[in-house]
Structure 1
């Protein structure tokens, strides 16, 4: 039987001890902050995501070509049939977003990837399409002693360019790159947190901080979750997306040498079959990247380092106070750092 009087007595004794310590000028011990898992950390900071939707033209599939989903949405890990399978009967485009967490003693770095089976257009001239599309965002979170830390910066991927942002009140400022805007936050109806807000354009799916991209007409608002919902239509403003760990057993990183999914290290395999490119300038092949293939060619960090060495990228892009650690305490990407750098030197440019 639970003895409330004993519990109350202990609480009173603890309060008396704390008061005595304060009286004599000694610090009151505080309970340690409970450790948080990487999955919990990723869920807490995952963005509320605005996806613009265009339903015009046959390649739009009534808006379905702008839905975010899993790489294996069609039940296989063949990157060369995704364009074809996007509109197939019975194929689900349940919402998903991928994440990877790497750590130093001073920061957590979380990369999020949003995947589309098609990068498409409804313009007949001077526009390209390609199978598969992967763009996303890096968040840097300072480990300040609180459970989830504090978010200091974001770098987004829009095609072959990166854009940098800081939240209001951040201690970080511009470095070699100018800060492109303020990262906004919004409350989620599905949890108790205020999340950063990102947005992607329709068709080409460049990603920036909201509202630098926004919904223009039809669109979907995706909320981070542990469940995957499918939009009811192209103008659904409350859809939960499931977070998937890049480093999970059998996950994207484990599949990095799968020649059916990747044409080379960090580049999704994609061909020009079916109607990709029909009525447009062309359909390019092998033209989308996983996070370890993302690159802004005219910036100092190398190909893929936004995900594989985010501590390096962060001090290049921002002025970071204090002494941010560059030594990783957890970073599965490091195991193939040499291979990634070699691939970056020899890989052909990727359109995206």
Structure 2
């Protein structure tokens, strides 16, 4: 099985330019090996020059192996006394390459093995003449190549890490932007459902009353039509307030406060004009609520009463209880059987639960014994409880 060759990512992207540089460096190695052997150039010197060129061309593909082979060739030439001085320059280049391109980071071990093999062989062959000032130059060349290669490796790794983090950060920003868009779409959809469902239900009831009035008491149709027109104007105004921010991104924040429990009287009065009777009870001391809780409480009451109006017997009980640290809302009504054929979409109950969850509260809804239906919500009621 052929073993896959590891290459740095930057080298994969610039393979052709790297190959041209290797060819030029190989040619320079040939010139150095031959030049340093003048005035006598033998066949062995030419063979070593060709080997140095081949080693440079293979240094990126198999950096550690070619370094070990070149070290073995240098040791062999020292034993046979055919050593070429230019070959030691090649060893420094190959040490740099092994430190820079090897899959494993161990530059000082590689440099120590190369220098140790050369020093041991030189000491064994001619200890007296081997140790001299020139050996400090060989040491600096071998270990300097390893240090430079390791620095180049670390720099590429740093650039690669910074690039990857930038890419991930950009991807995270895009995902966060998409998530916020989805959250905003869900919020707008929930607002529209709450507003439209309530007022359209009122309009539907008034339209039915107008139909009966036209057949039996035509003179009473005008107040009913006024209620329909008023409900239609109200729903249009509320829809405009919900989606107006989408029309102009530079538009300032709306000055009208979001609806809260202080508008319950208007909500109940609008329902009573349709003949729907709501009995309201309050327990505990009324106090200011966090804006998110106040809005969620109003919308939950609005949706629960709208459902009670649509599916109930024409009456409901609204119970609002202020307790230390929480607000409890309960809407109870009797269900008319058989229920209307047109069933709801289910988004009303889902919207109530989502609003409660956004305010760190909860909503439960379902039938109760005796043929009734109850919506029960518990929301935190302390200022700062949502931070």
Interval containing the TM-score (normalised by the shorter chain): under 0.3
Which structure's CA Rg is the greater one?
2
Bigger strand fraction: 1
Bigger helix fraction: 2
When the two structures are superposed, what TM-score results if normalisation uses the length of structure 1?
Answer: 0.22
Q: Which has the higher contact order (CA 8 A, sep 6+)?
A: 1
